[in-house]
Amino acid sequence: MLNIVLFGPPGAGKGTQSEKLIEKYNLTHISTGDLFRKHLSEGTELGKKAQKFMDDGFLVPDEIVIGMVDEKIKSDEDSKGFIFDGFPRTVNQAEALDSLLATKNTPILGMVALEVPFEELKKRLLERGKISGRTDDQSVEKIDNRIQVYLDETLPVSDFYRKQSKYNSIDGVGSIDEIFSKICTTIDTFN
Ligand code: ADP
């Protein structure tokens, strides 16, 4: 199975590139942000638990996220591979993901990390806030907080995959197609 972690700070373009990748490689998209927003809009218990963390740009507690991903992986028995977008966001989540996949005998083949300068990220997120209506994209304070949370809690996840020789860095500035083509070149080396 082609299991990939698509990594990068908020606004790096993970969602945009995931959509193209799932089509090209016939993968199952697991975006924890999208899953939480779905729970929120459906008013589930899980959505209610996640809401206060998301609103302020803090991470939802690991056990909630990991349980949700576990369920999603198990619900797709016939998948050709998973693309994880916005997950894992802590080293604890990365360890849990390895354990979940070990039970299926199908490891992560590689991580693709999109690199984008912080000034560019802030610009993109504020633009997205105007169009998407996402409240966590509409205030500079909330965006700054998410970037800080990324630096403190999520960036160490790249070392986790570096130690497993699975880390691949991609320049995330440029046209969507240019970046997509660089990601595909990297993915085609995974096996
Ligand atoms: P972005 O990448 O723009 O920050 P996401 O859609 O990935 O947006 O996530 C939105 C919010 O959902 C995060 O700020 C966080 O509160 C929550 N969230 C998403 N994924 C995770 C995760 N893996 N662990 C903890 N919280 C998460």
Cβ of 8 below 6 Å from ligand 1: no
Which is nearest to 84 in space by CA: 164, 155, 8? 8
The verdict on the CB of residue 10 being under 6 Å from ligand 1 is yes
Kindly list the strands in the beta sheet with 110-115, ordered across the sheet, starting from the edge strand earlier in the chain: 28-31, 82-85, 4-7, 110-115, 167-171
The predicted structure's pLDDT at residue 135 = 86
Cβ 89 under 6 angstroms from ligand 1: yes
Give the residue ranges of the chain where pLDDT is below 50.
Answer: none
Q: What is the pLDDT of residues 8-21, one digit of tens each?
A: 999 999 999 999 99
pLDDT of residue 35: 97
Report if pTM > 0.85: yes
pLDDT computed for residue 121 by the predictor: 95
Q: How far apart are the first and last CA of the chain?
A: 9
Which pLDDT value is given to residue 132? 87
How does the average pLDDT of the chain come out, rounded? Answer: 96
Question: Which atom of ligand 1 is least distant from the CA of 136?
Answer: 14
**Which atom, in ligand 1's list, is nearest to the CA of 93?**
23
Distance CA 107, CA 103 (A): 10
10 — phi, psi (to 5°)? Answer: -55, 130
Give me the active site residues, please: 14, 89, 128, 134, 146
Q: Is 53 in the pocket of ligand 1 (CB under 6 A)?
A: yes
Top mutation candidate among 54, 121, 145 for ligand 1, by most atoms within 8 Å of CB: 54
What is the best residue among 5, 32, 131, 148 to mutate for testing ligand 1's pocket, by most ligand atoms within 8 Å of CB? Answer: 32
Residues whose CB falls within 8 Å of the CB of residue 29, separated by 6 or more in sequence, listed in order: 18, 19, 22, 82, 83, 85
Q: How far apart are the CA of 86 and the centre of ligand 1, in A?
A: 6
pLDDT of residue 3: 98
